[in-house]
């Protein structure tokens, strides 16, 4: 009879926050009691092991971490959206789902709150979670047709000026056809996931996360036509830096990976090769998350009972009496 392999879960923690460390310790101890080992970055292992009393964690070196992650069934990330995006960097090339536990502020990418430790562990132990796949972006930077840098983004790719007092001049193509030329502070290409992040602050629309689409948002462009655009998932956006002063701009992916952009270079942005897999603990619709995270006013909403009353009135099958 074959022997079951030890179950392993990766845990990524914001060690600079006391709450994160305490939450991680609680989760790791409970997982260990259920026979599930925790894998953490090597630099985190000694700090966490000092706090653990009934178990220990497996430290993975920076060089071997990617391989170790492929052997785990889930990655738990404890922190805000920034920590969850860092976790996404580690799992994006594998099929490992990511479960975010919010210790930040808005936490759009998080599925649970720190106070829900017992519920989180119960879902992990019994594998009672679903997995939702999210559209991502791939970006390639070329200089004289030579690829000099490439990366990916879960939220957005931003093209920004390097000097506050200057502007960028960029030419934009969509599917090899010219779209416009802007003097601007920069430009964003966001995913539906990222539509509630930087792109939202820049005036872009909110896209539901199950969509596959690209959101293009010019930043403070000096032009009559500089509205956000929603493009199809197979579109390819090409941006050429026509002019920049003092001599360059910057390309950022999710605000964490960057490269300098100089005149004449081209950035190609399109559908990502890999999809981010997010673990979900409930079937709550995105509308609920949007209302809760942004604290949208919904007072006075009477819900399904009011809709049913109006339907009956329209059909003549009910009265509007008491």
Helical spans, DSSP H, in 149-295: 198-201, 286-294
- State the Cα–Cα distance between residues 180 and 250, nearest whole angstrom: 20
Structural tokens at position 157: 């790719």
DSSP 18-77: HHHHHHHHHHHHHHHHTTEEEEEEHHHHHHHHHH-SS---EEE-TTTHHHHHTT-SEEEE
- State the Cα–Cα distance between residues 111 and 75, nearest whole angstrom: 12
Please tell me what DSSP assigns to residue 316: T
Catalytic site residue 81? Answer: yes
The residues, any chain, with a CB within 8 Å of residue 312's CB and separated by 6 or more, are 318
- Residue among 68, 81, 138, 254 flagged as catalytic: 81
Catalytic residue numbers, as ranges: 81
């Amino acid at each position: 009879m074959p022997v079951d392999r030890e179950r392993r879960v990766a845990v990524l923690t914001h060690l600079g926050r006391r709450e994160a460390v305490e939450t991680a310790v609680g989760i790791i101890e409970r997982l260990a009691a259920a026979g599930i080992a925790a894998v953490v970055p090597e630099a985190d292992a000694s700090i966490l092991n000092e706090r653990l009393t009934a178990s220990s964690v497996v430290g993975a070196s920076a060089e071997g971490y990617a391989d170790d992650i492929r052997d785990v069934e889930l990655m738990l990330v404890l922190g805000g959206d920034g920590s969850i995006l860092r976790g996404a960097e580690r799992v994006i090339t594998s099929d490992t789902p990511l479960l975010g536990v919010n210790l930040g502020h808005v936490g759009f990418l998080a599925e649970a709150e720190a106070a829900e430790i017992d519920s989180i562990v119960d879902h992990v132990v019994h594998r009672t979670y679903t997995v939702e796949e999210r559209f991502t972006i791939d970006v390639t930077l070329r200089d004289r047709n030579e690829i000099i840098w490439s990366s990916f983004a879960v939220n957005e790719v931003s093209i920004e000026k390097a000097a506050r007092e200057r502007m960028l001049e960029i030419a934009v193509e969509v599917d090899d056809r010219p779209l416009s030329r802007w003097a601007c502070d920069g430009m964003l290409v966001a995913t539906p996931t990222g539509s509630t992040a930087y792109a939202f602050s820049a005036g872009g629309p909110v896209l539901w996360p199950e969509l596959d689409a690209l959101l293009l948002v010019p930043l403070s462009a000096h032009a009559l036509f500089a509205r956000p655009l929603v493009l199809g998932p197979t579109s390819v956006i090409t941006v050429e830096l026509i002019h920049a002063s003092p001599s360059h701009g910057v390309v950022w992916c999710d605000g964490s990976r960057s490269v300098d952009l100089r005149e004449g270079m081209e950035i190609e942005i399109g559908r990502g090769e890999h999809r981010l897999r997010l673990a979900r603990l409930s079937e709550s619709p995105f509308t609920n998350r949007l209302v809760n995270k942004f604290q949208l006013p919904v007072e006075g909403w009477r819900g399904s009972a009011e809709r049913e009353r109006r339907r009956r009135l329209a059909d003549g099958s009910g009265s509007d009496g008491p």
